[in-house]
Amino acid sequence: MNKTVDAIVVRLIASLVMCLSVVLVAGADSYVTFRDGSLAVFPDSCVASTSLDDGWVTFIAVDGTTYRYPAAEVESIDGTLQRELPSITSYRIRKKLNYQVVADAEGRIGDTTVDVTVAGIGKWLTASFELSDERARAWVDGQVQHSGDSRLDFGQGRVYTVGYPGEVVLAVDDAGRCAMEPFGRQYVVTADFLTAHATTVPRIDINTADSADIVSKHEYLDALIVIDGAGVFPSMTDSVKVRGRGNTSWSANPAAKSPYRLKFASKVAPLGLTRGKNWVLIANKQYGSMLTNAYGMKAASLIGTVAANHIIPVDLYINGTYKGNYNFTEKVGMSNNSVDLDNEDAATLLELDLYYDEAEGQKFLSTPRDIPVNVKFPDFGQDSTVITLDDIQRRFDALVAAVEGGEDLAPHVDIDQLARYLLANELICNKETFHPKSTYCYHENVLDVSSKFIFGPVWDLDWGCGYIWRMPESYFSLLTDYDYFNRPYNAQQYEFFRNLSRDKKVSRRMYEIWSRFVGDGLEELCDYCGDYYRYAAPSLTASMAAYPDSADYAGQASRAPGWFRARAALMLDRLEKANPIDGDVNGDGEVNIGDINALIDVILSREQSPVADVNRDGEVNVADVLALIDMLLSPP
């Protein structure tokens, strides 16, 4: 009996203490610390009432939502937080992690704010940051942010919450709904984009020796180049060699709007891009095409194709004469600012191109298919190499034969990069690929049987984006429903690319990539369309006045997001129908033990792939492993 009385007394005392705690925090915020170390914060402004009944601590939110906790699990309830919150100690926007950002930017950290000034086009950024405690995490809109990986739209300020896992706070949204959110120190992070203040794009002046006209695609002229970054990009002055370039876009007429090739004596970083010797000025000579390369290259970069070119709009002057709006970009090639390899001794860069205009000994027709292949690297007459033209053709022919024979392509080509390359061209609707023209791939080591062809970089996009011959008004208007890989082409080369897209491993990888892209990646591309146009608009207007082009570029910029979304939806539908196997995470056409290993890899990489979402709950986690095991153990 005494033991029973003692137990009752202890319980009463405990209840009184708990009640006393609740009374003490009445009218103030409540910081509920649990015995497992977690924390729940109930701001007084969000709470209608609190109580302790039958061993339960209860908070009723202003919207009527009830939060109940066993009193035995509660360590304490305090009116103030009994410790310091973690903080942001450094915040950077790094050039190498952000396409189109041309300079590293250091954030200015205050008590509740972080401000950073960004030089580049587009408002989506990947931030690199450090926190005061390695146990701490940063959240934005309830999503954990990973330094150097997570990507956000900074068109407006973003609120970061820095705290510890397991610590939450009750919050009320604008509609009066209550929910628990991560608790911690809050910072409003604001990015100031220099392009938002710019009134002009960079100006490039090229002054040739003795003011000689540039009339050759083969002979370089000595020149002085002066680049004015217009308050956004770095400026520079240097000597350079210049000549014409291009095929249908080239004209020997000095008055024409023609493309040019630039070659510096040593590596330079014009406009803040990666240092290199060789650069290109794209004329976008075709009426209505002055946005296509900018939008298309941005898409390629977001999809993850190899060595995606950077596009910076510039006003070009040659010997004092205005030449119009141009795109300044890297020259595709084996170099640190394009296809960058550690060792090029046995490497090759190929261009599949109907022009087939390299010298003899620098080109071949594939067997089978007669695909015209120009060897862009090595130049057998100049470059040091241990390979021959026969070595290159043997490896390429093996790839073509594998495609023709329906064999496993994995020994011949990088499946992931091929999938990304095909997706980028399909989204852009780049019909040049099927001629083929300007279709690049490279091989890191032709003599190494374990080395594979890698498709890319994407190049020359003025025959994409909805364009129909001699109809400049078709850009970003037509061909939203263009079935890219199922057209009635007769060319053998088209069959080659169609067959590549139908390979099971390639198709599955395309589906995995595209399922993720149709989300933030697509939204970033759509936002970029407006950002790029607004920045380039004065230059486009001036160029149209100087060189005939009556296209409605403002209309193109406004239509482009809808055009890309329609194309993306069509592609996703096609890929979903082509990849119906549930549980086939590794894309080998079967569901087996290998898919468990592949699923674990996806979980560890924090990817949210629909193919790996075996139980279809919208998340990829351990529950999917259990669902996959159950699928394997279930009788057929």
Domain C-terminal end among 330, 363, 396 = 330
- Using one digit for the tens of pLDDT, what is the confidence trace for 407-447? 999 999 999 999 999 999 999 999 999 889 999 999 999 99
Q: Give the DSSP letter string of 260-277.
A: EEEEEEEEE-GGGPPPEE
Question: Is the distance from CB of 427 to CB of 303 less than 8 angstroms?
Answer: yes
Q: Are residues 252 and 146 in the same domain?
A: no
Q: Is there a domain that residue 437 lies in?
A: no
Residue 331 is classified by DSSP as P
Contact status, residue 598 vs residue 585, Cβ threshold 8 Å: yes
| 56 plus 119 within the same structural domain | no
**E-only strand ranges, 88-197:** 88-93, 105-106, 108-109, 113-118, 124-131, 137-140, 143-145, 151-153, 158-163, 167-172, 178-182, 185-193
Q: How confident is the model at residue 481 (pLDDT cuts 50, 70, 90)?
A: very high
Give the model's pLDDT for residue 11.
Answer: 46
Question: What pLDDT was estimated at residue 575?
Answer: 95
Q: Is residue 558 part of a domain?
A: no
- Residues 274 and 298 occupy one common structural domain: yes
Give the pLDDT confidence of 192-248 residue by residue, as tens digits: 999 999 999 999 999 999 999 999 999 999 999 999 999 999 999 999 999 999 988
Residues 215 and 321 in one domain: yes
CA 211 to chain centre: 42
**pTM as predicted:** 0.89
Please state, for a pLDDT cut of 70, what percent of the chain lies above it. Answer: 94
Please calculate the CA angle 493-494-497 and round it to the nearest 5 degrees.
Answer: 95
Rounded mean pLDDT of 501-506?
Answer: 95
Nearest to 211 by CA among 221, 226, 203, 201: 221
Structure token digits, residue 316: 């070009």
Averaged pLDDT, 347-373: 96
**What is the pLDDT at residue 10?**
41
Which phi and psi angles does 530 have, rounded to 5°? -70, -40
DSSP 8-state class, residue 371: -
* Spatial CB neighbours of 571, under 8 Å, sequence gap ≥ 6: 423, 426, 427, 514
Identify the band that residue 632 occupies on the pLDDT scale cut at 50, 70 and 90: confident
How far is residue 346's CA from residue 452's CA, in Å, rounded to a whole number?
12
Task: State the pLDDT at residue 27.
Answer: 63
**What pLDDT sits at residue 5?**
42
Cα–Cα distances in Å, from 110 out to 138, 158, 187, 363, 435? 16, 15, 8, 60, 56
Q: Is residue 341 part of a domain?
A: no
Domain boundary among 313, 330, 347: 330
Cβ contacts of 383 within 8 Å, gap of 6 or more? 377
Both 247 and 277 in a single domain? yes
Judged by phi (left if over 0) then psi (alpha if -120 to 50, else beta), residue 512 lies in alpha
CATH number at residue 124: 2.60.40
The chain-wide mean pLDDT, for the chain, equals: 93
| Residue 323 covered by a domain | yes
pLDDT at residue number 16: 42
Q: Which domain holds residue 152?
A: 88-161+184-196
What φ, ψ does residue 423 adopt, rounded to 5°?
Answer: -65, -45
pLDDT given at position 13: 41
- Is there a contact between 328 and 271 (Cβ–Cβ < 8 Å)? yes
Q: Please indicate, yes or no, whether residues 207 and 192 belong to a single structural domain of this protein.
A: no
Residue 583 falls inside a structural domain: no
Predicted confidence band of residue 535 (pLDDT cuts 50, 70, 90): very high
Residues 124 and 151 in one domain: yes
493 belongs to a structural domain: no
The total number of structural domains that make up the chain: 4
On the question of pLDDT at 21 being above 80, the answer is no
At residue 491, the pLDDT reads: 66
pLDDT digits (tens, 9 = 90+) for 316-344: 999 999 999 999 999 999 999 999 999 99
User: Is residue 14 predicted with pLDDT exceeding 90?
Assistant: no
Residue 245 and residue 217 share a domain: yes
Note whether 102 and 6 are same-domain residues: no
The predicted pLDDT at position 153 comes to: 98
Sheet holding 30-34, edge to edge: 74-78, 30-34, 39-42, 167-172, 178-182
Residues 337-355, mean pLDDT to the nearest whole number = 97
Domain end call among 330, 359, 394: 330
Residues 140 and 207 in one domain: no
For residues 300 and 421, what is the distance between their CA atoms, to the nearest angstrom?
A: 8
Tokens of 355: 């022009």
DSSP SS3 for 576: helix
Q: What is the pLDDT of residues 45-102, one digit of tens each?
A: 999 999 998 899 999 999 999 999 999 999 999 999 989 999 999 999 999 999 999 9
Alpha-carbon span 618 to 183, nearest angstrom: 25
> Are 259 and 300 contained in the same domain?
yes
Per-residue pLDDT tens for 148-168? 999 999 999 999 999 999 999
DSSP, res 44: G
Q: Is the pLDDT of residue 589 over 70?
A: no
**Within-domain flag for 441:** no
CATH number of the domain within which 67 lies:
2.30.30.100
**155 and 259 inside one domain:** no
- On whether residue 557 sits in a domain, the answer given is no
User: Residue 386: is its pLDDT beyond 70?
Assistant: yes
